[in-house]
């Protein structure tokens, strides 16, 4: 569920990008490659910006994901309502309010403009953190159903063999990741809720 789900088609991804940017894909990007990672909500493509040649990662929402979530949320509301009616003792737990909060969180996840803004804030907060870099978003190539970030090259933190081949001490690396996570939370008030190994890269050099 992190980054290895079956991808949706290249044609669907390119259609979503073209619709979001209101221009053909190859007007915005000199190249737009196949999916390099696919998760439950979206997938990522490697691309190159037309004109500048900058390598970027383009995140695109899955087709129909909004409808799928809407069906699930409506089912949750129905279940919460039935629980409150048939088991009055559960009302103190406010099941319907819990689902309403969940709905708000999910709707935020499905608007990549919010994620683009969060990425920009995270990049600004950590600009002076030695050995840590957040790819900056490309605002004019981001929209509600897609976002574009600078490309991050490196070894996924879930690939232990590749990390060992680089001669990196995984214990020290783990401590470093935890320290940075806490620093960002306590220093900046910024909680990264998805800091798993599928979202982290270790540079091959330097």
Nearest to 120 by CA among 95, 157, 149: 149
Instruction: Tell me the CA distances in angstroms from 167 to 51, 59, 157, 199, 204, one per residue in order.
Output: 38, 31, 14, 21, 10
pTM: 0.86
What is the C-alpha to C-alpha distance for residues 59 and 116, in angstroms, rounded to an integer?
10
**Active site annotation includes 111:** no
Q: What is the mean pLDDT for each group of 10 consecutive residues in the chain (206 residues)?
A: 78 97 97 93 96 97 94 95 93 94 89 95 93 94 97 90 93 92 93 82 78
Which among 72, 97, 169, 194 is annotated as catalytic? 194
């Amino acid at each position: 569920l992190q980054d290895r789900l079956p991808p949706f088609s290249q044609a669907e991804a390119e259609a979503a990008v073209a619709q979001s940017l209101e221009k053909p894909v190859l007007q915005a990007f000199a190249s737009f490659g196949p999916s390099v990672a696919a998760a439950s909500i979206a997938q990522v493509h490697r691309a190159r910006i037309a004109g500048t040649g900058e390598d970027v990662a383009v995140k695109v929402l899955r087709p129909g994901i909004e409808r799928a979530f809407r069906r699930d949320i409506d089912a949750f509301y129905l279940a919460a309502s039935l629980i409150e009616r048939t088991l009055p003792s559960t009302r103190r737990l406010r099941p319907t309010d819990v689902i309403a909060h969940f709905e708000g969180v999910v709707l935020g996840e499905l608007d990549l403009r919010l994620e683009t803004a969060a990425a920009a804030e995270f990049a600004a907060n950590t600009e002076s953190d030695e050995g840590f870099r957040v790819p900056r978003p490309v605002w004019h190539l981001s929209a509600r159903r897609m976002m574009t970030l600078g490309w991050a090259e490196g070894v996924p933190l879930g690939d232990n063999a590749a990390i060992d081949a680089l001669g990196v001490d995984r214990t020290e690396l783990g401590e470093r990741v935890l320290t940075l996570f806490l620093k960002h939370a306590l220093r900046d008030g910024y909680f990264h809720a998805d800091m798993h190994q599928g979202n982290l890269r270790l540079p091959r050099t330097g």
